[in-house]
Structure 1
Amino acid sequence: QDGGGKLRGDNKVFSATTTVTVNVEDVQDTPPMFIGTPYYGYVYEDTLAGSEVLTVVALDGDRGKPNSIHYCIVNGSEGSFEIGNTTGAISVIKSPNQLKKEVYELKVQASEVSQEGDVSVHAFAMVTIRVVDLNNHPPTFYGENGPQNRFELTMYEHPPEGEILRGLKITVNDSDQGANAKFNLRLVGPGGIFRVVPQTVLNEAQVTVIVENSAAIDYEKFKVLTFKLLAIEMNTPEKFSSTADLVIRLLDTNDNVPKFSSDYYIARIPENSPGGSNVVAVTATDPDSGLWGEVKYSIYGTGADLFLIHPSTGIIYTQPWAVLDAEVNSKYNFYVKAEDTDGKYSLAEVFITVLDVNDHSPEFNENIQEKTMIIGSPVKIEAIDQDAEEPNNIVDYSIMQADPANVFDIDQSTGEIKLKSYIRSLDIIHNITKKKDCIWSVVVQAKDRGSPSFSTTAVLKIDITEETLHKGPMAAFLMQTKDNPMKALGVLAGVMGIMVLITIMISTAMFWRNKRSNKIMPVRRIIKKRQTPQSRTIRMEWLKFKRPSSAAEKFVVEDDAKSLHNENSNNNIQVAPVPPTAPLP
């Protein structure tokens, strides 16, 4: 371009252009550069050893005359990966199952190599390789010697609750990684006896079995307990699982007492059974095994003196010298004991009834020889049978012989003898017999209802008389006790004793004794009122016997004594009883 000037009146500047080409020659002054960073690669669980994972690429920064690039792994491989020297291809050199890490961080170096073979500059890049689990391993149980699907243990029954079964050494493992290795652990079998911990496992855990219900671990119920250990994956679609048998053999302990078949035993044995007779057999069982299950029997108690028991069979029998008599003792009660060899025992009660045997005949009372019968009133005979039970001791009465036979009737049950209903006076009796004394001899029989039946006969003399016209309780009493004077004497003595006691009580209440003068004084002052004397006649007749007015009349009793209690109590008059007069000859 020029400096310009005037042209045709204008100021003009003229210029010219041209193209200049400059060639720049490259010099090796730029390091190599990795293309496509960052680098990520994946190794799947089923990848074969030697398979290529990924390829890294680096270029020489000098474009004119680029040098060749060589690759190497600086660190992070742990011998599991390799890289192509010139290609940059990274390969896995081990089986994925042998890879110990889930993620590998590789440091890769790219170096420029000149045509002369000299290494000039370097560049570095990080490569991340993740090992991917494909969930192709189920959980597996291991014992001390490797994988195992059956575990056995021997232990005593009834261990304490919360105790760990220390004889079991079980490990469970899932070789997968992450969520694929998470699984549940359960114990399948009779519920509530044991529990397993842990219940959730990630990769691997030691299996522990703990006692939950000691009572259910019973040798008498289950000699062998069988369970299954179940491990099942939680969060995988495949839900891989595995099982292992757990067999627990129980050992017996003496945890049971002998038990009788009944809480009480009731037995019966006839009286007069010979010594050594069997009475009853008791049975007790102990479910324990061996010596612990052996039972020995014994008896004790106040009622066991006449009995023995076989220590092994439990048969109760009478002593060789024992004599059982239902009339002496018909009930025996004692305890039987069943004991094992370790001293554990239980009791049962035994009730033995001695059955009555009809071995006694009825016996009449001693005063049966003679009875006095008043016409219209019966006389009673009584016989006692010493047997203990009915019907052996029930007595029936009958008249075996009487002359004439149509004079008396007898009540079969009570033994009351009375005249026939048409006999109402001695005159009728005199028309029947020529006897003047009206004394009959009657053969009576007392017979029990046992089988066989026993009977006793006796001759009864009945003196028949008429009732007197002068009736009174004392006369009736003396007539009834004519054949038993001791009974009458006893009753009279009792009446006299009561009267003396009443007199002493009244005297104690009305009078007191002065200790100084030893005089008897009234308890309180008595003011006597004069009364107009009145004639009073007291006539008391105790007993008056008269001669019989006829041949049929034996004696007469008069009892006209009247009570003066109301009048005498007002005047404090004590009237002594008049002693009885002797009977007239």
Structure 2
Amino acid sequence: MTKTIGYRDWRWQALWWLHFCLLWITINGQTRYSIPEELKQGSVVGNLAKDLSLGLSEIFDRNLRVASEGGKQFFTVDVGKGELVVNDRIDREALCAQSVSCVLTLQVVIDKPLQLHRVEVEIQDINDNSPRFPSSEIILYIAESTAAGARFPLEPAQDLDVGVNSVRSYTLSKDDYFSLNIKDVSGGRKVPELVLSKSLDREKKPTHQLQLTAVDGGNQVKSGISQIIINVLDINDNFPVFENSVYKVSISENSVQGASIVKLTAKDTDEGLNGEVEYSFGVHTPDTVLSVFDIDLLTGEIRLKGKLDFETNTNYEIDICARDRGTPRMEGHCTVHIDVLDVNDNAPNIFLTSQPNSVPEDAPSGTVVALISARDLDSGDNGKVTLKLPKGSPFSLKSSFSDNYALVTGGALDRETFSEYKVEITATDSGSPPLSTEKMINVSITDVNDNPPIFTQPTYVVYLKENGVPGSILYSVSASDLDFGENAKVSYSILDSKVQDVSVSSYVYINSDNGSIYSMHSFDYEKLKVFQIQIQAKDQGSPPLSSNATVHVFILDQNDNAPAVIYPSSAALGSLSHQRMPRSAKAGHLVTKVTAVDADSGHNAWISYRLAEATDASLFTVNLYTGEVRTKRAASEQDDSSQRLLIEIKDDGEPVQSATVTVSILLEDGLHEPILDLRQKVAEPNKKTGRITLYLILSLASVSVLSLVTFLILAVKCIRNSRSSGSCCMRRSDCDDYKNPNRNLQIQLNTDGPIKYVEVLGGDMLSQSHSFRSCMSPMSEYSDFTLIKPSSTTDFKEVISVLDASLPDSTWTFESQQVSRSQQPCSM
């Protein structure tokens, strides 16, 4: 309500009570009051205790207090009544200016227990402000020659109130020459214009005084007054006239500052100062125009002052005023319409409508990866945008609608080649010159199990010493998978196969995680020389993929067998101490022959004989290689008739294994051909035994001849194919006898330190084969032709295929074995 000092009229009191009845309103359960502004101090706003459901005693006991968010304490609480009352003058215009809504927020705090309530007090506007003109007196100079209908803009009045209480209309005091016109401008404002109703006559009335009244729309109407003094000027009775009332020009938005836009011309038919014209922008020209354009006061040329931007303003409409310098000053008006021409000054923008998805590497062509849109702020061709991808990209763009695109797969993807693609998208407009923008999009490729594990090599060759510790590691295979995650986790297993009719899993086992192969027990070279293990590597993808590798295990011989004496044998000849020789034997006489074999191979099977002890060491000697016991000199009558020889048999292994045999020799007079007699005693003198012996001799001779021919053929081919004189290379294609279905010819390659040797096995598949072994050592000038045990039949193709690729070319060794033959030295 409006409070006037010293005014106690009952009508104002009634108005106060009317506003006081507009008390509190509750919106959505929130305490809200509404009061008019300018209530006197102590005026009741509302019963706060009742609205907060508090008793009067609680107000004091719980220390109810009010805090304003604005800082100034406009309200307080009457503790005795529990009412919210006005504490200070409330001026809505000072608090909220001309805002439509004016709400004060109060914080009501209650202790014991602590509670906080929000109270809103809406301050309603009252018509307590009158309209005011910027100036209480307006002076106009109008030439007497001004034609009727001329309009003169007047400054509008301002009212601090809002809504209906603001300025609503203008009135002009009655005058025969002037009338009032209200012009609506932007923002809903009303501007008064003074309109000349008929021509002035200075001689009749040189000055006109009018009263302009502004009236608001409040319940108690308020008004403001401004005096208008119009001085009628004489002489200069012509005003400047433009060639056109409207000028239309265009200018490019990239024009430089200072560029000329248009030159205006207004003509005044008066002479002297009354005909000199000055140009200016209209009174109501906005700042947006003044900051961009400038006009020359004398020439009327409009120039560019600031920067143009087609995307901000596409056109300008400017009011131009031309005034002469006469007294009174006459003015004319025109309008300049400026169109801003677009240039291609904005590069296209690329937006991601959706973030790119991860794409599986087996995604079909056309799979949507991301949604993309392109925009250009320019217009026309300057705003037309096209998108493109680099050449060779596995992606493509598919247009959907209105500059929207889908990024799709355009070809096969391979995560193992590229796990992530940085897709560069280029947006180019159709301007001249065209502008472009690049945007990088990261596309992740997810893995698919499309790669099997790959071993580091397809076959592995392992050399393992016999008699190893069970559980020791033999070898570690490794396979890698190009896939990722679970698809790349590899587990190892052994495929079931047979080794000597026994499952290979009983010999070895493998660690499924790291591929380490361990022995299940100790290996014996004399029982097993070579075997194969099929290893499978399988990933954990779905479905799982696998690959295989072959591990060739070669058992290396160790010197774990001592020489075994096979002659003289106690089973065949009785006590070894009963060997006889004639006392008449001469030097070099063959007394007996000790024969021994070693189950080992290579150097470990080379046997030598030595006379360890003798009754008379000067009488007998033992051949180092053959074991033949011969006399060193002729026996004499003085020699004891009973001679005892202790013969030591040693192999060539490391450590050396040895055996001994004791031979007792009885010197007898008149004894002839002791060895022949001994053989005749041993052999049974029947026809059947003789026939078997004949067959055995013929078989042995046939096998020996066949083996010798095979050896010679292989040696000739080896010499022809070898480029060096110190080494010999044998291939599987050289083994012609292998193709003969009637014979079983086997060549087994072995290694023992620096000595390389080959076992040539001959015989039928189902019979005991004969092995001929020849040792050619690069460290010695001659080789030995030794006798060893029979060898078991092995797969010739399998062994040759493995060792041919794994063993280097070197001196080869051929071994020949014949159980019934004696050991003979040989040289190559």
Q: TM-score, normalised by structure 2?
A: 0.37
Distance 1:434 1:165 in 2: 109
Partner of 1:460: 663
Change (3 A) 1:52 1:453: closer
* Equivalent of residue 386 in structure 1, options 596, 599, 604: 599
Report the alpha carbon displacement of residue 403 of structure 1 after superposing the two structures with TM: 3.0
Residues 138 and 241 in structure 1, CA contact (< 8 A), matched pair in contact too: yes
Q: Comparing 165-174 with 240-249, which one deviates more in the overlay?
A: 165-174
Partner of 2:371: 169
1:249 partnered with 2:461:
no
Superposed counterparts of 1:37-186, under 5 Å:
44=252, 133-144=342-353, 152-160=356-364, 163-174=365-376, 176=378, 180=382, 185-186=387-388
Residues 370 and 408 in structure 2, CA contact (< 8 A), matched pair in contact too: no
Distance 2:262 2:678 in 1: 140
The residue type equivalent to 2:526 in the other structure is E
The residue type equivalent to 1:187 in the other structure is L
SS of the aligned residue for 2:356 comes to: strand
The residue type equivalent to 1:240 in the other structure is L
Residues 259 and 286 in structure 1, CA contact (< 8 A), matched pair in contact too: yes
Distance 2:580 2:410 in 1: 92
Residues 368 and 408 in structure 2, CA contact (< 8 A), matched pair in contact too: no
Report the alpha carbon displacement of residue 399 of structure 1 after superposing the two structures with TM: 0.9
Q: Comparing 265-274 with 367-376, which one deviates more in the overlay?
A: 367-376
Distance 1:408 1:235 in 2: 119
1:224 partnered with 2:428:
no
Report the alpha carbon displacement of residue 248 of structure 1 after superposing the two structures with TM: 0.5
Distance 2:444 2:668 in 1: 99
Change (3 A) 1:193 1:44: closer
Partner of 2:455: 260
**CA deviation string 1:139-162 (max 9, x = no partner):** 3324439xxxxx5332112433xx
Partner of 1:485: 683
**CA deviation string 1:483-532 (max 9, x = no partner):** 6425997773148889xxxxxxxxxxxxxxxxxxxxxxxxxxxxxxxxxx
Report the alpha carbon displacement of residue 242 of structure 1 after superposing the two structures with TM: 0.5
Distance 2:549 2:487 in 1: 20
Distance 2:627 2:411 in 1: 76
Partner of 1:354: 555
Q: Which sections of structure 1, spanning at least 5 residues, go unmatched?
A: 1-39, 56-94, 101-128, 146-150, 470-474, 499-585
Residues 372 and 480 in structure 1, CA contact (< 8 A), matched pair in contact too: no
Distance 1:479 1:193 in 2: 99
Residues 330 and 355 in structure 1, CA contact (< 8 A), matched pair in contact too: yes
Report the alpha carbon displacement of residue 446 of structure 1 after superposing the two structures with TM: 0.7
Q: TM-score, normalised by structure 1?
A: 0.50
Partner of 1:12: none
Residues 152 and 246 in structure 1, CA contact (< 8 A), matched pair in contact too: yes
SS of the aligned residue for 2:358 comes to: strand
Distance 1:446 1:221 in 2: 67
**CA deviation string 1:261-314 (max 9, x = no partner):** 333333344433444333333333334444333332221322422222233343
1:449 partnered with 2:659:
no
1:429 partnered with 2:635:
yes
Partner of 2:509: 308
The residue type equivalent to 1:352 in the other structure is V
SS of the aligned residue for 2:389 comes to: strand
Residues 164 and 208 in structure 1, CA contact (< 8 A), matched pair in contact too: no
Q: Which sections of structure 2, spanning at least 5 residues, go unmatched?
A: 1-247, 265-308, 315-337, 570-575, 697-828
Report the alpha carbon displacement of residue 443 of structure 1 after superposing the two structures with TM: 1.8
Residues 381 and 431 in structure 2, CA contact (< 8 A), matched pair in contact too: yes
In the TM superposition, structure 1's runs of 4+ consecutive aligned residues that sit over 6 Å from their partners are 40-43, 51-55, 370-374, 463-466, 487-491, 495-498
Distance 1:318 1:184 in 2: 69
Instruction: Give the length in aligned residue pairs.
Output: 358
Residues 347 and 437 in structure 2, CA contact (< 8 A), matched pair in contact too: yes
Distance 1:487 1:356 in 2: 43
SS of the aligned residue for 2:345 comes to: coil
Partner of 2:614: 402
RMSD after superposition: 4.7
Partner of 2:152: none
The residue type equivalent to 1:228 in the other structure is E
Change (3 A) 1:495 1:246: closer
Residues 424 and 441 in structure 2, CA contact (< 8 A), matched pair in contact too: yes
Residues 45 and 97 in structure 1, CA contact (< 8 A), matched pair in contact too: no
Change (3 A) 1:371 1:335: farther
Higher RCO, Cα 8 Å, sep 6+: 1
Change (3 A) 1:296 1:490: farther
Report the alpha carbon displacement of residue 208 of structure 1 after superposing the two structures with TM: 4.8
Partner of 1:412: 624
Distance 2:311 2:519 in 1: 86
